[in-house]
Amino acid sequence: MSRPRAKLTNTFPGCPVESALSFIDGKWKGVILYHLMTEGTLRFNELRRRVPSVTQRMLTKQLRELEEAGLLSRTVFPVVPPRVDYALTSRGESLRPVIMALKAWGDKNVLCDGERMTLKPLKAKSQVESENA
């Protein structure tokens, strides 16, 4: 397969997994979708503030790709200073189970401590039970 990932499309079982992944591939798409899902429509700089480490250029790029993929809509208001709203389309909304599964897995398995990303230890069943008790 010498095609870029976004154009990956051989037919084989499991291909749907890859093609779905290709839509949220890109360093920031996951977070962008997550914020739009949990907070609703957001403006460019609102997104920027929520994803502090993305550069302007990358945020623009990822948003354009998501728009092209039909996952979000971009609404420009002809006012000054400029105003641009980003909102999920219904196809974007349909990704909610995926994003939320990722979020749940990340919450359970990863420690985002600000310096390193570390895996949380797996819990034995007894530990889980005592926590839920």
> Closest separation between CB of residue 64 and DNA, Å?
7
**Is there a contact between 114 and 121 (Cβ–Cβ < 8 Å)?**
no
Which is closer to DNA, CB of 85 or CB of 93?
85
Name the amino acid, one letter, at 124. A
Between 14 and 121, name the residue whose CB sits nearer to DNA: 14
Contacts (CB under 7 A) with DNA, residues 19-78 = 25-27, 43-46, 53-58, 60, 62-64, 74, 76
Give CA–CA dist 22/43, Å, rounded.
25
Pick from 46, 64, 84, 106: which binds a second copy (CB under 8 A)?
106
Instruction: Collapse the DSSP code of 72 into the 3-class scheme (helix H, G, I; strand E, B; otherwise coil) and give the result.
Output: strand
Q: Which of 76, 78, 79, 115 binds a second copy (CB under 8 A)?
A: 115
Q: Is the peptide bond before 121 cis (omega within 30 degrees of 0)?
A: no
